[in-house]
Amino acid sequence: MLSVIVPVFNEEKNIHPFLDRLLPAIAPYSYEIIFVNDGSYDQTALTVKKVALKNKNIKLVSFYRNFGHQMALTAGYEHAKGDCIITIDADLQDPPEIIPKMVEKWEKGSKVIYARREKRDVDSFFKKMTASLFYRLINFLSDSPIPQEVGDFRLLDREVVDFLNKLPERSRFLRGLVAWGGYPADYIYFVREKRFAGTTHYTFSKMLNFALEGITTFSTKPLRLASYLGFCAATIGFLGVLYAILGKIFLPSYWVTGWTGLFVGIMFLGGVQLITIGIIGEYISKIYVEVQRRPQYLVQEKINL
């Protein structure tokens, strides 16, 4: 059986066009489609419920509020029953027509099939640039590299989903977690299409938070960087002291006591200290969230599940 997980947040206009393309693509398989309604405040839940009444294979998990894309996917994984599990966006940016090709590769033995964006002309220059910067940074920092040009459109084997479901941690940077497992992976290439209706939900600040989440959950190198930064600053400070003492002793007549050096020194040290405190704070906040052990999301209702 094939499970298709679709996170939806205010996608009322996309549900029907999406199903019109998805259903023919997966008709040959026995399937379930799990819509995870991530706290939409439009008619998304109602629209899904109406189709779920007619087709028992279409299921719905509804959250009380918006818990975020990664949590919606997590809930989907926890409810999916299939032998292979696909996650796909509802806005038709990920073409459902390539699903059979993904299943074919899975049947050949790969545990993870990524759909890789061959062309991404529809995304803005800014999005492409920040994405590539982010992946280069995270792959530099992290020990388990994350494949580039790959989003959350992927097929996972049951075994991988069981692994994800068993993970005790609260924070869910799924791309990283899947890559961390090191399961044999394969790729299918596709051309990213335009969003069918509505606008993206990933604002700049959400992307930034997503990037920070990814970095802090997969690497502690920034903490080491903080130590290096402190060490460099201390060395420069020490050299400055030597310079001042030697200048005072050997060139007393040239030595002018100014405030520029002082000012620059204070600004520099202040900056270094704030950055390092910020980095440490990021990790403390991670620890805080983990020890709180709150549920990751709250389910309001389930249909056909």
Centre a 10 Å sphere on the Cβ of residue 230 and count the other Cβ atoms it contains. 15
Centre a 10 Å sphere on the Cβ of residue 298 and count the other Cβ atoms it contains. 13
217 forms part of the interface with Mg ion (CB under 5 A): no
Residues 6+ apart with CB under 8 A from 207: 130
93 forms part of the interface with Mg ion (CB under 5 A): yes
Least distance (Å) between residue 65 CB and ligand UDP: 10
7 forms part of the interface with ligand UDP (CB under 6 A): yes
Stretch that binds ligand UDP, among 55-63, 163-171, 200-208, 233-241 (CB under 6 A): 200-208
The 71-90 site mask, x for binding ligand UDP (CB under 6 A), equals: -x----------------xx
Name residue, tokens 């499970």: 3
Give the E-state strand segments of the chain in sequence order: 2-8, 31-37, 58-63, 84-87, 112-119, 150-157, 185-191, 299-303
Least distance (Å) between residue 122 CB and Mg ion: 10
242 to 112, 160, 234, 256: CA distances (angstroms) = 58, 58, 12, 16
Q: Which is nearer to ligand UDP, 101 or 201 (CB)?
A: 201
69 forms part of the interface with ligand UDP (CB under 6 A): yes
Write the DSSP assignment of 221-286 as a string of letters: HHHHHHHHHHHHHHHHHHHHHHHHHHHHHH-TTT----SHHHHHHHHHHHHHHHHHHHHHHHHHHH
The 15-34 site mask, x for binding Mg ion (CB under 5 A), equals: --------------------
Least distance (Å) between residue 81 CB and ligand UDP: 21
Q: Which is nearer to ligand UDP, 11 or 32 (CB)?
A: 11
9 forms part of the interface with ligand UDP (CB under 6 A): yes
One-letter amino acid at 178 equals: V
- Total residues at the site for Mg ion (CB under 5 A)? 3
Which residue in the set 32, 91, 152, 157 belongs to the binding site for Mg ion (CB under 5 A)?
91
Q: Which is nearer to Mg ion, 89 or 213 (CB)?
A: 89
Distance CA 262, CA 12 (A): 60
201 forms part of the interface with ligand UDP (CB under 6 A): yes
Q: Which is nearer to ligand UDP, 8 or 150 (CB)?
A: 8
Contact yes or no for 289/170 (Cβ under 8 A): yes
Residues 6+ apart with CB under 8 A from 266: none
8 forms part of the interface with ligand UDP (CB under 6 A): yes
> HSE-up of 105 (CA within 13 Å, CB side)?
20
Rounded to 5 degrees, what are φ and ψ at 112? -130, 125
Least distance (Å) between residue 113 CB and ligand UDP: 19
Q: Checking DSSP bridges between strand 112-119 and strand 58-63, what pairing results, if any? A: unpaired
Q: Which is nearer to Mg ion, 123 or 282 (CB)?
A: 123
Contacts with Mg ion, residue ranges (CB under 5 A): 89, 91, 93
Contacts with ligand UDP, residue ranges (CB under 6 A): 7-9, 11, 38, 66, 68-69, 72, 89-91, 93, 200-202
